[in-house]
Amino acid sequence: MIQGKVISSTDLPIPGRPHKKITISFEEVTPHIAKIWLEVNEERQRKMNLNQVYQYATQMKKGLWIPDTGESVKFSDSQQLIDGQHRLRAVIETKEPRILMIMRGIADENIVKMDQGKKRNLADIFRIQGVEVPKGFTESMLASVVNGLFTCKAFIVKAQADSQSLRVDSRKGSISSPSELYEFLTANPIMLEKFSELSEFKIPTIAKNVPIGPTIVGWFLVNIIDKNIANQILKTFEECVPQTEQGRNCPAFIFFKYIQRARSQKMQLSKHEFPGFWLWTVDNMILNTQPKRFMVNQSQMPGQGHEGSRKLIDFFSELKEVS
């Protein structure tokens, strides 16, 4: 079996398996070698998750890839590739050599016992790092919001009038790893500062009435455009009644009723549609219109021509990239 350039290596005897050993090494793996390894035992690999590949490739390109996390590309004692296909595909995508941890000599039958543990998610990282979550939030809620804002940033900064999608996850670069999202939050403390403005609201109550993660993402976007309107919409969700003189014709209340109707009809609303929902609402409230029905168009996607588009573009363009 072809090897990458070995940086360091060690052999470990396997307890209970006389004369057997596992070899652990750090190797410089080129795209060419990665391609050859992927062709070994290809038929027994899991279905490739291209989003996972893109996450890894993005980390590698940004210098966030760390080879000594303990995660490794694994080969069985019959030299079959049994783990690491997404990392290898990411190396190919970056078109540059990468240092990976390689483990060789695992018993062939152990492939069915691998990847049984729970992956560490962004909420876990917040707990480990002691991130102080805003009042009324949980680590999971904060993770959902940060993920949503990262996705919005990719759409706002990169879409710029060339997308017809009504979902903010339609742009390449909107998916990231938990570690990248953590870096995104810590590099931009203004995000936590804005979340502190939510202290006057009863977040647990709002969470009972509407999907809370996408709702806070929408509030964040509208807050940049018009704080008063953002708070009126959120208050509508908290109290379940109109907050303006328009009463039941208030766009915020129409938005709220749309969510309630979707729930009653068991209609699934994607979290990636909520930014457009919120911007439809702020558009109509700023223009003081009374829409007859709830219907988002492409111009009401973040940064695509709605009221306050330039404010969103400027704000998200200034957020620091993770590097």
Among 262, 254, 201, 260, which Cα is nearest to 227's? 201
Among 75, 64, 82, 59, which Cα is nearest to 27's? 75
From first to last of its 323 residues, what are the pLDDT tens digits of the chain?
788 899 999 999 888 877 888 999 999 999 999 999 998 766 666 678 888 888 888 888 888 788 888 889 999 888 888 888 899 999 999 999 999 999 998 887 766 555 544 566 889 888 878 888 988 899 999 999 999 999 999 898 876 555 577 899 876 655 678 888 999 999 999 999 999 999 999 999 999 999 999 999 999 999 999 999 999 999 999 999 999 999 999 999 999 999 999 999 989 999 999 999 999 999 999 999 988 889 999 999 999 999 999 999 999 999 987 65
User: Which residue is it, tokens 């940033």?
Assistant: 153
Cα separation, 32 vs 185, whole angstroms? 36
Q: Is the pTM of this model over 0.75?
A: no
Q: Tell me the two tokens of residue 257.
A: 């009723």
Q: List Cβ neighbours of 39 (8 Å cut-off, separation of 6 or more).
A: none
